[in-house]
């Protein structure tokens, strides 16, 4: 956990425009606040700083709308004023524009306008590195697994690794977008006489107090020179969420475990705007649904359980050098997982019989009339893996799946890398929608959202058979049955399966609104759930992301059993959550 | 740009009054005291106007109601200040040092108290506007007038000068029991205040022309009341030895 996140201090965002004749203060006739924005913020690693910051007092500049490449040229070459705020339409928001703006001394800030209609015009936009997590996992600074000539993320522009000299804001509110464009059209669109008349300008404040690198920032934070020490930065991090199908009591000590894993976090350039639909949510909900299916099969499974236990593992912070999985591996190798105080027998990495990881899943690669392919990346060949793959493939005709063996020569940038790094013979399979490079052209961006996944919430009705809900539900069913076969060591003969409607609800919670029926059932009534989709950026370790706790409760809801114990009996720790019907 | 606008507007509104203060008032402590006292009386009148506006809830949004009563309160407190000055006159004469050349006659005191009224009202009407003007943005990019700040400053200057003139006319009219001049002061105060209501409809030019016409008329009357003639005006612009610079009339 070398990287740090700066504290976001100011997100206020002011546009100077007239607010109507009824204004009571002179100020209101000069300035208007822009609502519905998200700021790009600063992050640090051991050697560098990345991201954006404004000056302490904010950056002010004249609005300039960039609709076509000619506008960028005009702004950087001919524009008469000293400082401009570049308002970039989403169809222009790409590496080329941003790098041109960064190099121009005239640009004091950048605003990205979200547009629902023009989004499809953008062919690709991924601010992530072309080799995600280039220096961690199985790779290192000296030994690179991923090469720039054949990268995993070919559309990656590494914009997340750039230290912008100015603030960048993302505006998603329609009224704010309208205010900004109206003000621009009214005052600034005419290029004649710009130097002699009043122009529409904007002030951006997103000052970050963290600077230089992690070491410097920590040293500054730990310097006690007055009674009120200042924190300049916090380490990034959150919690992993895990659960086991059968309680791990002392008798489980020697039994092996099949780990069903997915990641819980994603990232983007903007605070609070990290939807990660394809990169994270699709795999996450598939893992949850699979685990929930296994718990339904639990009664059939338990008598014949010779093959061990099943563990659901949701990793947090994987976008930043595998924070979650590398910590888990570290704890496992030190006999600290699960933690000693929990009185659960510790789990060693050698006891993991196999890890099945669900990474990016989507129907992006679908050709008309066919089923979108899924690729199985295995770390090595062993009987368990062969059996699992054979079992999965035997179901694909029934469940309308299209499973292919990956032709990639190395392990993709997934959490499995942390395990293989610790144990070269670690058995694992990653299921993804890509073969040798990502099909997701918006990886780790604000546009990796519900529209990219093509998810349409069908309220009350069954989702169509070619929908993403049905697709992921079928995958869950296949996974659940294959894992059953591995554990029970006999073919599954029942009919239990994951319904597309369940997948529909799960996706709705993670992609549309936290205030959904599943999270509602999983929380106490005094828990207020906001109406927006959860941002899946990992955040800083001392403030947990809401979705981490909610996912834990959701697992309890989907797989937990009701007991007759009283509230007091159940509540062993202060932090335990006990839900009363 | 906005800094220039801020200073331009400040100097437009407060430049002439501050010059008047520096040349005619600053050298005499008694005049300063009287000016501050009259400014305080104006503040009390504003306080009462505000209380009335606050109490009468249904008329809070009716500008003209507060405005008319504010004019009456101001004129009432001008009268109170007149009464106070007359009562204090004897004492003031005693504390004035005998050897100064300054002649604090009644008209000078009227002028000083008028300027005190004007400066305080000017400060109250413009300072919040100026405070907002200093920021990075300027006024009314959308629709309204970009001259709002300049117009506010010019209006403020007009009111400061008007208050000075009204002070002179009012006090001398009360001394000489000339009722029409008292009525003129109250009526013209009401008139200019009501003219400014046109600003709601962005009729800034009309407002400015109207109030400056009243200012000129009031100025002429003040000049007459103070005993000025065309010849004295002419003499005033001619060079004289410094020793004889007195504000002398009567």
Any domain includes B148: yes
- For residue B132, give the nearest of A30, A198, A203 by CB distance: A30
Burial degree of A371 (CB within 10 A; 0-12, 13-18, 19+): middle
The single residue listed with the structure tokens 């005009």 is A74
| A26 to B129: CB separation less than 8 angstroms, yes or no | yes
| Closest chain A residue to the Cα of B129, Cα to Cα | A26
- For residue A30, give the nearest of B128, B138, B143 by CB distance: B138
Separation in Å, CA of A109 to nearest CA in chain B = 16
Considering only CB atoms, which chain A residues are within 8 Å of B9? none
Q: Which pLDDT score is estimated for B23? A: 94
| A29 to B138: CB separation less than 8 angstroms, yes or no | no
- What is the residue range of B91's domain? 2-227
d(CA B11, CA A552): 66
Any domain includes B240: no
Any domain includes B238: no
Q: Which pLDDT score is estimated for A119? A: 54
Sheet bearing A42-44, strands edge to edge: A49-51, A42-44, A4-6, A233-235
Considering only CB atoms, which chain A residues are within 8 Å of B3? none
Query: What band does B100 get if pLDDT is binned at 50, 70 and 90?
Result: low
Q: Which pLDDT score is estimated for A252? A: 81
From the first residue on, what is the mean pLDDT of each consecutive set of 10 residues in chain A (581 residues)?
Answer: 29 31 63 90 93 93 91 92 90 88 94 73 88 92 89 94 94 91 90 86 92 92 79 91 88 89 95 94 96 92 79 95 96 92 88 95 89 94 95 94 94 96 96 95 92 91 92 96 91 91 95 92 80 92 90 90 70 57 46
Of A55 and B133, more confident: A55
pLDDT tens profile B159-192: 999 999 999 999 999 999 999 999 999 999 999 9
| Closest chain B residue to the Cα of A19, Cα to Cα | B142
| Mean model confidence pLDDT for chain B | 88
The single residue listed with the structure tokens 């006891």 is A351
Q: Which pLDDT score is estimated for A581? A: 46
Any domain includes B250: no
The single residue listed with the structure tokens 């960039």 is A66
| B143 to A18: CB separation less than 8 angstroms, yes or no | yes
Sort strands A352-358 and A241-244 into parallel, antiparallel or unpaired: unpaired
| Contact of A233 with A4, CB cutoff 8 Å | yes
pLDDT tens profile A145-167: 899 899 999 999 999 999 999 99
d(CA A570, CA A279): 37
Q: Which pLDDT score is estimated for B228? A: 85
Q: Which pLDDT score is estimated for B18? A: 96
pLDDT tens profile B4-50: 889 999 999 999 999 999 999 998 888 999 999 999 999 999 999 99
| Contact of A476 with A377, CB cutoff 8 Å | no
* B144/A contact by beta carbon, under 8 A: yes
Considering only CB atoms, which chain A residues are within 8 Å of B136? 16, 60, 201, 203
- For residue B144, give the nearest of A16, A18, A183 by CB distance: A18
Any domain includes B167: yes
- For residue A26, give the nearest of B132, B142, B143 by CB distance: B132
- For residue B132, give the nearest of A27, A198, A201 by CB distance: A27
Sort strands A32-33 and A13-16 into parallel, antiparallel or unpaired: antiparallel
* B positions 120-139 inside 8 Å of A (CB): 128-129, 132-133, 135-139
CA distances from A414 to A5, A325, A376, A441, A505 (A): 22, 9, 13, 17, 26
Q: Which pLDDT score is estimated for A75? A: 93
d(CA A317, CA A55): 29
Q: Which two tokens stand for residue A544?
A: 């947990």
Of B2 and A78, more confident: A78
Query: What band does B144 get if pLDDT is binned at 50, 70 and 90?
Result: low
Helix (H, G, I), strand (E, B) or coil at A202: strand
d(CA A443, CA A463): 26
For chain B, how many structural domains are there in total? 1
| Closest chain B residue to the Cα of A16, Cα to Cα | B137
Considering only CB atoms, which chain B residues are within 8 Å of A203? 136
Q: Which pLDDT score is estimated for A90? A: 78
| Contact of A74 with A66, CB cutoff 8 Å | no
Least confident of A521-535, B49-63, B78-92, B128-142: B128-142
How much is the average pLDDT of B49-76?
92
How much is the average pLDDT of B99-113?
78
| B139 to A29: CB separation less than 8 angstroms, yes or no | yes
């Amino acid at each position: 956990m070398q990287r740090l996140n700066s504290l976001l201090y100011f997100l206020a965002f002011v546009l100077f425009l007239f607010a109507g004749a009824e204004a009571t203060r002179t100020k209101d006739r000069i300035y208007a606040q822009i609502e519905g924005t998200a700021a790009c913020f600063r992050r640090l690693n051991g050697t560098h700083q990345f991201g954006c910051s404004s000056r302490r007092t904010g950056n002010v500049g004249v609005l300039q709308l960039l609709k076509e490449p000619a506008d960028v040229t005009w702004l950087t070459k001919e524009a008469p004023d000293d400082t401009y705020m570049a308002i970039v339409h989403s169809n222009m928001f790409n590496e080329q524009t941003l790098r041109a703006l960064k190099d121009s001394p005239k640009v004091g800030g950048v605003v990205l306008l979200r547009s629902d209609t023009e989004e499809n015009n953008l062919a690709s936009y991924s601010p992530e590195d072309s080799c995600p997590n280039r220096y961690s996992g199985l790779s290192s600074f000296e030994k690179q697994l991923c090469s720039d000539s054949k990268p995993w993320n070919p559309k990656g522009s590494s914009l997340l690794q750039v230290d912008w000299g100015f603030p960048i804001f993302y505006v998603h509110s329609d009224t704010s977008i309208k205010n900004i464009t109206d003000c621009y059209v009214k005052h600034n669109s005419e290029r004649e006489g710009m130097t002699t008349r009043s122009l529409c300008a904007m002030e951006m404040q997103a000052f970050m107090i963290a600077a230089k690198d992690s070491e410097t920032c920590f040293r500054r934070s730990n310097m006690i020179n007055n009674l009120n020490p200042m924190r300049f930065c916090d380490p990034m991090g959150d919690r992993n969420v895990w659960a086991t199908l059968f309680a791990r009591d002392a008798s489980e000590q020697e039994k092996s475990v099949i780990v069903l894993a997915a990641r819980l976090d994603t990232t983007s350039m903007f605070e609070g705007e990290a939807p990660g639909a394809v990169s994270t949510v699709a795999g996450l909900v598939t893992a949850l649904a699979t685990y929930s299916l296994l718990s339904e099969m639990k009664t059939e499974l338990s008598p014949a359980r010779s093959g061990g236990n099943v563990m659901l593992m949701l990793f947090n912070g994987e976008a930043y050098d595998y924070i979650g999985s590398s910590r888990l591996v570290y704890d496992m190798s030190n006999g600290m997982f699960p933690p000693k105080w929990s009185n659960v027998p510790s789990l060693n990495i050698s006891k993991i019989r196999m890890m099945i990881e669900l990474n990016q899943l989507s129907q992006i690669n679908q050709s008309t009339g066919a089923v979108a392919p899924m690729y199985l990346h295995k770390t090595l060949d062993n009987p368990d893996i062969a059996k699992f793959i054979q079992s999965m493939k035997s179901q694909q005709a029934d469940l309308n799946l299209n499973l292919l063996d990956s032709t990639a020569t190395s392990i993709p940038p997934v959490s499995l890398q942390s395990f293989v790094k610790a144990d070269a013979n670690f058995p694992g399979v990653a299921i993804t929608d890509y073969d040798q490079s990502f099909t997701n052209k918006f990886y780790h961006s604000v546009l990796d959202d519900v529209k990219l996944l093509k998810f349409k919430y069908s309220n009350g009705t069954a989702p169509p058979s070619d929908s993403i809900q049905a697709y992921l539900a079928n995958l869950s069913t296949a996974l659940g049955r294959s894992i059953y076969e591995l554990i029970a060591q006999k073919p599954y003969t029942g009919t239990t399966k994951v319904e597309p409607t369940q997948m529909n609800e799960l996706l709705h919670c993670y992609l549309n609104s936290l205030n959904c029926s599943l999270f509602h059932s999983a929380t106490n009534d005094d828990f207020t759930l906001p109406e927006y989709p959860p941002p899946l950026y990992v955040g800083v370790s001392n403030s947990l992301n809401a979705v981490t706790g909610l996912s834990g409760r959701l697992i309890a809801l989907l797989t937990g059993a009701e007991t007759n114990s009283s509230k007091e009996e159940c509540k062993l720790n202060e932090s335990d959550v006990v839900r009363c019907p | 740009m906005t800094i220039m606008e801020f200073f331009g507007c400040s100097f437009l509104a407060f430049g002439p009054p501050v010059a008047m203060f520096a040349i005619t008032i600053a050298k005499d402590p008694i005049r300063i005291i009287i000016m501050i006292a009259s400014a305080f009386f104006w503040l009390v009148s504003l306080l009462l106007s505000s209380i009335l506006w606050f109490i009468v809830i249904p008329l809070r949004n009716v500008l003209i109601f507060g405005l008319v009563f504010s004019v009456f309160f101001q004129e009432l407190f001008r009268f109170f200040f007149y009464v106070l000055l007359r009562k204090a006159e004897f004492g003031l004469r005693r504390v004035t040092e005998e050897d100064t050349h300054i002649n604090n006659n009644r008209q000078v005191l009227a002028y000083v108290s008028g300027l005190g009224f004007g400066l305080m009202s000017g400060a109250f009407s413009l300072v919040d506007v100026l405070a907002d003007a200093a920021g990075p943005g300027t006024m009314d990019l959308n629709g309204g007038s970009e001259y709002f700040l300049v117009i506010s400053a010019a209006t403020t200057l007009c009111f400061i000068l008007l208050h000075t003139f009204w002070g002179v006319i009012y006090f001398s009219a009360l001394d000489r029991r000339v009722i029409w001049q008292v009525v003129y002061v109250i009526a013209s105060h009401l008139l200019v205040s009501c003219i400014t209501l046109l600003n709601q409809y962005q009729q800034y030019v009309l407002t400015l022309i109207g109030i400056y016409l009243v200012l000129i008329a009031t100025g002429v009357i003040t000049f007459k009341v103070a005993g000025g003639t065309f010849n004295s005006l002419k003499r005033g612009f001619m060079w004289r030895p410094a020793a004889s610079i007195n504000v002398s009339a009567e």
